């Protein structure tokens, strides 16, 4: 099994700070999925909120893949949570052209808190019991969220950011704990939305605050003749507790490069100087505030 999983946000919208080509064309999406299948990538990560990506994926056909989707935020004053969840999931299944999902994740952990959260958890477990989803879980932004929700039910999947800058999942101890609990861990943001793959003159001015770190990163890569993709992939691939590493691509050639590099990845370089807990840098959601 290939540890790489294919993220599909770019299939439905222009996604990522380094994205220069916009939304992926249908013909390119077909080539990307075919390459993924032929390279033993067996999991696709999608979401209701990824524009029309699920419809595109369904039209191409993805019966040979495991599919993980994410719910929208629970609407305020939702009277019938169970019906809302079931309607959203059945809509996804229809667009995707499949009878069930491998995984269904709650997009924000705060949706699981309070009385609405209890109803949402009950709805998720009902979907699992009825076979519409095989596994349920949460997509988080900060491992501290797990302190609040892991006791609420038996989650099967946790999706979290992890990269050479943001190592909180490991350093917090949660990666090890999740492994002991038998929870499947999927990581994302391997390249910090592409920021770690950009040339210096292409990095947006909003990141000038972290120029010293980024300059050192680029300088070390050049000085030691290192490949940025390889160095970024080495860290998550070195952690056996991780089941899948979700990577998004803008085109066929990017995925081809990722697959080739992941086969031979190895690095002895110490990138600990890159580690940061600065939420304005490690959480791309905050970038719009910069």
Q: What does pTM read for this prediction?
A: 0.93
- Distance between CA atoms of residues 188 and 192, nearest Å: 8
- Distance between CA atoms of residues 168 and 102, nearest Å: 26
**Widest distance between CA atoms in the chain:** 60
Strand, coil or helix: 6: strand
Domain span at 155: 4-289
CATH code at 143? Answer: 3.20.20.100
**Residue 172, both tokens:** 């917090």
pLDDT in tens, the chain (290 residues): 689 999 998 886 544 444 344 578 889 999 999 999 999 999 999 988 777 889 899 999 988 899 999 998 888 888 899 999 999 999 999 999 999 999 999 998 999 999 999 999 999 999 999 999 999 999 999 999 999 999 999 999 999 999 999 999 999 999 999 999 999 999 999 999 899 999 999 999 999 999 999 999 999 999 999 999 999 999 999 999 999 999 998 889 999 999 998 887 778 899 999 999 999 999 998 999 88
What angle do helix axes 252-264 and 26-38 make, rounded to 10 degrees? 20
Residues pairing with 108 in the sheet: none
Q: Which of 163, 110, 100 is nearest to 132 (CA)?
A: 100
Backbone phi and psi for residue 69, each to the nearest 5 degrees, phi listed first: -120, 165
Query: Could you give the number of structural domains in the chain?
Result: 1
Strand, coil or helix: 66: strand
What pLDDT, on a 0 to 100 scale, did the predictor assign at position 10? Answer: 83
């Amino acid at each position: 099994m290939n540890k790489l999983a294919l993220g599909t946000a770019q299939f439905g919208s222009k996604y990522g700070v380094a994205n220069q080509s916009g939304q992926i064309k249908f013909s390119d999406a077909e080539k990307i999925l075919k390459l993924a299948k032929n390279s033993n990538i067996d999991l696709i990560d999608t979401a209701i909120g990824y524009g029309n990506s699920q419809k595109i994926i369904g039209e191409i056909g993805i019966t040979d893949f495991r599919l993980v989707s994410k719910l929208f935020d629970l609407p305020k004053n939702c009277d019938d949570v169970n019906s809302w969840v079931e309607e959203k999931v059945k809509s996804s299944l229809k667009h995707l052209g499949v009878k069930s999902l491998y995984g269904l994740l709650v997009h924000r952990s705060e949706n699981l808190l309070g009385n609405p959260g209890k109803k949402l958890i009950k709805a998720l477990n009902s979907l699992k019991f009825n076979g519409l989803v095989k596994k349920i879980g949460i997509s988080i932004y900060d491992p501290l969220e797990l302190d609040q929700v892991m006791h609420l039910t038996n989650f099967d999947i946790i999706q979290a950011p992890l990269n050479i800058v943001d190592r909180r999942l490991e350093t917090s101890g949660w990666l090890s704990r999740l492994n002991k609990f038998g929870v499947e861990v999927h990581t994302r943001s391997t390249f910090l939305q592409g920021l770690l793959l950009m040339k210096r003159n292409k990095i947006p001015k909003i990141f000038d605050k972290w120029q010293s770190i980024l300059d050192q990163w680029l300088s070390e890569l050049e000085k030691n003749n290192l490949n940025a993709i390889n160095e970024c992939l080495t860290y998550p691939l070195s952690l056996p507790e991780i089941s899948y590493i979700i990577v998004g691509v803008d085109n066929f050639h990017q995925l081809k490069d990722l697959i080739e590099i992941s086969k031979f990845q190895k690095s002895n370089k110490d990138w600990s100087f890159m580690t940061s807990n600065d939420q304005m840098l490690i959480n791309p959601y905050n970038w719009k505030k910069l």
